[in-house]
């Protein structure tokens, strides 16, 4: 997506205030994206600087994710309670201040607390972006706005590691947190003057049991990831009892969560009313499955490139860069296509491209040119599919349901981003040595084929409205 295209799109479709809202949201969205893509590179430097072992430093990342997901679950209730703009400003302030605390941390205990606060801020920003856009541009122009605002999500995974590598080469790990402060400051100033204030008068009490159940559910998934990591690293089959038990407990807890929220209705922590809208429900399922394949691929492809095909780190990075370029290219045309073609048809084309490219990965091997073209195609298909599902979630959803739909959308993305790599990790570890690459890449195809179901449901909703 070129700069000229973005500016033309903004000028043609949005009035002055909407342009400023979009710019403001982009600045805010940059914060958690840069942090997430950069912090993994800082683990060795943080381990040395804080005199800690790898296991302890892992909690700097795990704790952030845990508090981010729990905050996402709270955001619908908080939005109704204090208003979308006020909550967004709080999230920006928390993230910016906690970044400064992380940069100044002299011990592991301090940085763990600061990272927890940073996770809370990130959770607010993840959900607030979609809610603010729905309120500012409306459902009719949401796909166009999302295509523009989603650019940082595509560019950050490509540029974040490069920026992190540069900052670590000229300074220490604290610079990765200091970089958030000026960005957060600009976002705060823009948000304060651009975003409209709201009068929030919702008197719904906090669903405390819902908070506890979601916390236990999220904790069970993170603990499952730790268990699978232990099994994968040791290769002992007898250690599977704990992951299996944790999986059963996780299913039980999340089933209880769903039943609890359905019983409470409008008094629940997360209102499930958007799920009663067929297009919203199908879009959320599609978003989860697309995220499963997208984030699973971000682990599977570098793993296979490096371990099985013996590509260098630079070559592997370039292949991931081609994936990101493909994502940018496809998102450029989303809004235009949605005007002329049904969403289900666009999703079908995107799925076909994604499945074909994922299947081609099994056969192209280490041929760099063929691999680069395949990655470009896969990025285009999955980029189009994820953004289409994310934006279409709000297509038939009333504006008063936007906070709940935003939360469900973000939870679906986070679930896919967590479970996808877990599945890939297990498949890669337990595949026969001679077939590790083929089994791992074939699993990406299987993940994508599951998207056929929700796409057929989208087609049925379109037929019903004709």
State the Cα angle at 16 between 13 and 18, rounded to 5°: 65
Read off the DSSP letter of residue 207. Answer: -
Q: Give the range with max mean pLDDT: 136-150, 152-166, 205-219, 375-389.
A: 375-389
pLDDT of residue 10: 45
pLDDT of residue 7: 46
Mean pLDDT computed over every residue of the chain: 80
pLDDT of residue 147: 61
HSE-up of 228 (CA within 13 Å, CB side)? 22
Nearest to 97 by CA among 27, 1, 180: 180
pLDDT of residue 1: 43
Of 143-147, 202-206, 281-285, 346-350, the poorest mean pLDDT is in 143-147
pLDDT of residue 350: 92
pLDDT of residue 143: 62
pLDDT of residue 149: 62
User: Which whole number is the average pLDDT over 25-45?
Assistant: 73
What is the gyration radius of the CA atoms in the chain, in angstroms?
Answer: 21
Looking at domain 1-197, does it have CATH number 3.40.50.300? no
The single residue listed with the structure tokens 């981010």 is: 68
CATH of 273-466, one of 1.20.1290.10, 1.20.210.10, 1.20.1250.20, 3.40.50.720: 1.20.1250.20
Burial bucket for residue 259 (CB in 10 Å: 0-12, 13-18, 19+): exposed
pTM of the model: 0.76
> Is the distance from CB of 95 to CB of 118 less than 8 angstroms?
yes
């Amino acid at each position: 997506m070129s700069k000229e295209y973005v500016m033309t799109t903004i000028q043609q479709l949005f009035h002055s205030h909407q342009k400023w809202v979009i710019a403001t949201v982009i600045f805010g969205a940059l914060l958690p994206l840069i942090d997430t893509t950069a912090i993994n590179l800082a683990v060795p430097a943080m381990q040395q600087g804080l005199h800690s072992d790898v296991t302890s430093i892992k909690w700097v990342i795990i704790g952030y994710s845990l508090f981010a997901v729990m905050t996402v679950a709270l955001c619908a209730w908080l939005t109704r309670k204090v208003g979308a703009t006020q909550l967004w400003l709080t999230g920006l302030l928390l993230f910016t201040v906690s970044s400064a605390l992380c940069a100044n941390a002299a011990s592991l205990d301090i940085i763990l607390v600061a990272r927890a606060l940073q996770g809370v801020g990130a959770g607010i920003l993840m959900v607030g972006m979609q809610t603010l856009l729905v309120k500012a541009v409306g459902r009719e122009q949401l796909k166009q706005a999302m295509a523009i605002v989603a650019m940082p999500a595509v560019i950050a995974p490509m540029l974040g590691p490069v920026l992190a590598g540069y900052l670590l080469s000229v300074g220490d790990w604290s610079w990765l947190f200091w970089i958030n402060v000026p960005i957060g400051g600009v976002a705060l100033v823009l948000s304060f003057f651009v975003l409209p204030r709201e009068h929030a008068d919702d008197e719904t009490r906090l669903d405390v049991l819902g908070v506890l159940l979601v916390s236990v559910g999220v904790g069970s998934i993170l603990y499952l990831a730790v268990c699978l990591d232990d099994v994968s690293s040791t290769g002992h089959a007898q250690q599977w009892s704990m992951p299996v038990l944790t999986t059963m407990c996780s299913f039980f807890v999340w089933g209880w969560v769903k039943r609890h929220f359905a019983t409470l209705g409008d008094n629940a922590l997360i209102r499930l009313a958007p799920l009663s809208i067929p297009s919203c429900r199908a879009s959320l399922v599609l978003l989860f499955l697309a995220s499963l394949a997208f984030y699973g691929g971000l682990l599977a492809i570098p793993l296979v490139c490096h371990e099985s095909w013996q590509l260098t780190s630079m070559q592997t990075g370039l292949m991931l860069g081609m994936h990101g370029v493909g994502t940018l290219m496809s998102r450029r045309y989303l809004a235009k296509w949605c005007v002329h073609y049904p969403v289900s048809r666009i999703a079908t084309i995107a799925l076909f491209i994604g499945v074909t490219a994922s299947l081609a990965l099994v056969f192209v091997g280490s041929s760099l040119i063929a691999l680069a073209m395949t990655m470009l195609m896969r990025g285009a298909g999955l980029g189009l599919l994820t953004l289409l599902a994310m934006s279409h979630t709000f297509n038939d959803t009333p504006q008063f349901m936007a906070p709940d739909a935003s939360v469900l959308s973000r939870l679906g993305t986070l679930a896919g981003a967590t479970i996808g790599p877990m599945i890939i990790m297990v498949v890669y570890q337990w595949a026969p040595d001679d077939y590790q690459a083929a089994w791992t890449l074939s699993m990406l195809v299987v993940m994508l084929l599951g998207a056929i179901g929700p796409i057929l449901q989208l087609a049925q909703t379109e037929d019903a409205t004709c």
